[in-house]
A and B are shown apart, each in its own frame.
Chain A
């Protein structure tokens, strides 16, 4: 089948992002009452996209030859020309983009279906699907783009879709503020990305990733980039990679550009699942993976990769610490997303693309699953989001409980059957063997313990114990249109484990373009055994501690957290996410407002008087030339002025025709100069 499809792929590939975009465009013109139609259109378009993406995925399974991964580049299209330079764009299909595109389209499809149930009562039901379609189209374009410019454009469009969807309930001031915060914070990163892109373009003369040996990521350009030294002794490749990394930090919520992501939970839950957990926030990680040849110049210890490893490690630990102390079911998951994105960055910095991408895809499944299950919980509890007011839901929502438990165990890294266990194991393996030191490894290990801890805490508080919500309270199970997507994602969270074990590292070898081989003895190597042992210890520690603390938590919803007493001041600090928002308020937003006020005052106090000075100088000049030639001349300017005076009649009389006077005076002055000139040049 793959061979038959092959000749049509370059054309078909464009339809993958284009169909959802088209659906989004059409839905923009549909009135609200046609919401059902809009949802069908969106799902239909995405379904076709998904089929094509999966078919393309199948095509990439056979490497060109041993060690050379499959790569298909569509013929570059000229988007525009300036002067005589043509700017070209195109798409690329390789294991990286195929895996990502298939994952995005597949997960999104199920989240779309879930949304039919979840958003059922929403008045702007159709709009919601329009924005979702726009998002999916743009995200697929990010994934498939063969041009840094096209990637950047789609990157900004997913930002726009995220902005619209976080602010979907725009009547709520908190949602409107969160949307704005998300756009602006990510734009800080985007500016770095933008200048990095322009720098690369300026140095290499191309923005295409692959172009038969002349692309940005191919050896010719790479070696020229590595050969030029710039500010601070960095090579151009390292400097631009760092700029791209800042862009990735904004999108992927790395410290300190992470503060928008927890606030983004103001959006509807399917949005949190699709955009702010599974796909868009991973775009930063994907960007680094895509441009990895630039990052990797100089090996695993290159400056940009070291930066990625450390930033990722710090983010992973920070967010895991903060997640421990949160009480909103979605915010816990949001901080957990930040933390897991940190893991992916560590993976990129220390282990390489395949490790990071495996965790990215596994995470997309189990985190989407967790969010959708959380949505089911919220739905069932009548929009309650505070885990202190839940409890004992296991009985009322057994199916949701099971899917949630699968997601939770995958995230916490329960051994052997869950994808999260193997992907995390691979990350720790990479970090442990990293030549740059043990820092990122230790950060990641501590974060992994905490992950098991806070996920167990959340699960216990939500599903175990007794119901703690004061007043009447009837949780109910969700309809099957919401449950089926949960089953599918749960299956994914487990089945993915098969392709990522050290015994059969199919995924890693496929990304590298090697034929997958089975080597079960890899599991028995001391190295691997040590790590598996470590992972077991991690999970036991985290889950055990949490179990002990939260198994029998008090029945009152306002009782303090068992940890609060133990940690006292630190707990408060963690609850407030270590005060980043307050810090930015003090160091950036406040001073900026002050600065803007100062500039405004300067406008009024300095520039306006300056202008008034210029004005009076010109007036005096006009008067002087006017007086000196008052009676001497009668030219076109005079008749012009009288004509002007007639037209302006009534209202201008109050000004005593002053400007006309100046005009005449200046006109006279000019005439003098003209005469002077003719006299001189005669």
Chain B
């Protein structure tokens, strides 16, 4: 029941905002900001109730929807889900807090963000394809409208492209799962992974589509590719990323925070929780392609970021680069699980990297938002200079996030990258070696950003800007804490996921 409440709570908030016409614009934002952290309370309660150790299922809720077709609305929370739910609430909270600071948004805006929060919670907990996919697609509508209605000049076009392309990915994924339902009669993730473990997916597909003349393995490959396409568009993986820079740049900054902090994580989550457990039979044949694409993503993200002059575009490409490491680790695990420890490192690294990237992105886009507030909308790399002189606290916090982003030990980014590289090197060494170039270039464009924005002589035009106010500091605080604490004490996050990691590896084990 706790879980159902958690899923519906943001929706209730959205409904409340929708039916309360007298609510002022800014009080609506404040209400939504407070509301967005309520799920955390439920999450804490769930943690408290849960007595078992080593992760495991903390809460579940299920409703038979179409029992004849084996369709159940099944949701459950385990350690990995828990981290993603935590991230969802934090990013939503920060996004709404920044909206208040930027003075944008109204009742509809807040309601849409809360709807999105609810749907994201659904994505991160659903255990059956139908509820998962419904939530997955339903995040699109608020996202589209938020970009479209509150974005910049080019927003309509960017929003439309974002919408259509990701929807296309969704359709491809749906077709893939329908084929599975048709052949084995279920779309439940756990059931599918069990079938896969007994090689019944290939057999089932082969029987159901015998008329096509293809073998079961080939058919399963097609299905896996179709599912992968849907995930790849969302993360995004090269060459399906071209919607991203425009969408990120044109969206209002709080929405960009949501896009990069949460929507991209849906794809990573899907790779880990859906793609890997269900398709172990065809993973080795797909892995080389996925590895190549992941390396391309890492490199392209880093190199393209070097050429950008818009802060949001720099961070957009930086996101492409950082999530590329997640894809790389998944690809490595897909290629082989010969080395169990390396596999565990790669899988743990994916979750840590996804979580940390979300938190770091919050701070970075928060910083862009602050600059926009102070400058009245400017956010070019060359529009500032010397800000550390008059905004030392702001420069310090941004510096911390930027250094965490480039993987400085002691801050959150490092452990994730260490685990990913350890895992990938143990499984597919060459790709780790090549991806190091990405790691190096990240430092180049992030340090250049520090130099151009914060260092150098203070420009007279910006010399009067004030440092962060007290309320702004408080908005930064949770994310900063979540950059420092897991950096020094990674176990804080890893203890949630170690059990899940081992279970996932067990599923992959029969397919060396």
Contact = CB atoms under 8 A, between A and B. Distances in A.
> Are A and B co-members of a single complex?
yes
Interface of A: 28, 79-85, 149, 152-154, 156-157, 160, 167, 170-171, 173, 176-177, 179-180, 183-184, 187-188, 191, 194-195, 198-199, 201-202, 205, 592-593, 595-597, 599-600, 603, 607-608, 610-612, 614-615, 617-619, 621, 640, 644, 647-648, 651-652, 654-655, 658-659, 662-663, 666, 669-670, 673-674, 677-678, 680-681
A191 B415 CA distance: 15
B163 A607 contact: no
Contacts of A610: 239, 242
Contacts of B267: none
Contacts of B439: 191, 194
Contacts of B458: 171
A176 B242 contact: no
B69 A595 contact: no
A667 B167 CA distance: 10
B505 interface: yes
Q: How large is the interface on B (under 10, 10 to 19, 20 to 34, 35 or more residues)?
A: 35 or more
B410 interface: yes
A596 B306 contact: yes
Contact of A160 (B165, B167, B408, B418): B408
Contacts of B339: 202
Contacts of A593: 306-307
Nearest to B181: A677
15 contacts: A83-B340, A84-B344, A84-B498, A149-B418, A153-B410, A154-B409, A167-B455, A180-B447, A183-B443, A198-B425, A202-B422, A205-B341, A597-B307, A670-B174, A673-B174
Interface in B126-168: 141, 144-145, 148-149, 156, 159-161, 163-165, 167-168
A75 to B, nearest CB: 18
Contacts, number: 206
B444 A83 contact: no
Contact of B494 (A81, A194, A678): A81
A153 B229 CA distance: 38
B307 A611 contact: no
Given A194-B421, A677-B181, A80 B490 contact: yes
Nearest to B414: A153
A351 to B, nearest CB: 32
A195 B433 contact: yes
A84 B308 CA distance: 42
Nearest to A595: B303
Interface string B429-459: 0001100100110011001101100111110
Given A160-B403, A610-B242, A615-B164, A176 B455 contact: yes
Contact of B145 (A188, A603, A648): A648
B156 A655 contact: yes
Contacts of A658: 160
Contacts of B118: none
A608 B247 CA distance: 12
Interface in B361-413: 386, 388-389, 396, 403, 408-410
Contact of A83 (B160, B306, B345, B388): B345
A670 B494 CA distance: 39
A202 B426 contact: yes
Contacts of B306: 592-593, 596
Contacts of B349: 82
B183 to A, nearest CB: 10
Nearest to A170: B455
Contacts of B168: 614-615, 617-618, 621
Nearest to A167: B455
Contacts of B303: 595-596, 599
A93 to B, nearest CB: 22
A201 to B, nearest CB: 6
Nearest to B243: A611
Given A160-B403, A662-B167, A171 B389 contact: yes
Contacts of B386: 170-171
A80 B494 contact: yes
A183 B447 contact: yes
A596 B454 CA distance: 23
Interface string B334-347: 00000111111101
Contacts of B389: 170-171
A509 to B, nearest CB: 36
Given A600-B308, A611-B165, A614-B168, A83 B498 contact: yes
A640 B140 CA distance: 13
B501 interface: yes
B108 interface: yes
Nearest to B149: A651
Contacts of B156: 654-655
B175 interface: yes
